[in-house]
Amino acid sequence: MLPPAELPPAHPIRFGTGVHVGEVMYGNIGSKRRLDFTVIGPAVNLASRLEGLTNDLKRPVLVSGDFVTAAGCSAKTDCLGLHSIKGFDDALEVHALRL
């Protein structure tokens, strides 16, 4: 094993996470040969769309205004304003989690 000074430079792991709160449907979908556990619904779609915005907004964790209200965590987020989200009629409030 190489001493720490001789290790190759670390490559940061980049990720994006979207968080929303709402009702979902979940369960096994498929056939006897292949079952997949999945979660579907508008809340899942919104969380996925928020994850997609992480690159554009240059913030790794985005949360919806509804989540911030439900969790009472506004002091730990930065409000990034209203954003149009594909598949949703109204612009939605987006927050970034302070890391």
pLDDT digits (tens, 9 = 90+) for 20-71: 999 999 999 888 899 999 999 999 999 999 999 999 999 999 999 999 999 9
**How far from 17 is each of 2, 49, 51, CA to CA, in Å?**
34, 10, 5
pLDDT at 14: 81
pLDDT at 4 over 70: no
Secondary structure letter of residue 5 according to DSSP = G
d(CA 49, CA 7): 37
Whether 72 and 33 have beta carbons less than 8 Å apart is answered as: no
pLDDT band at 99 (very low <50, low <70, confident <90, very high): confident
pLDDT at 8: 64
Whether 20 and 43 have beta carbons less than 8 Å apart is answered as: yes
Residue for token digits 């498929």? 30
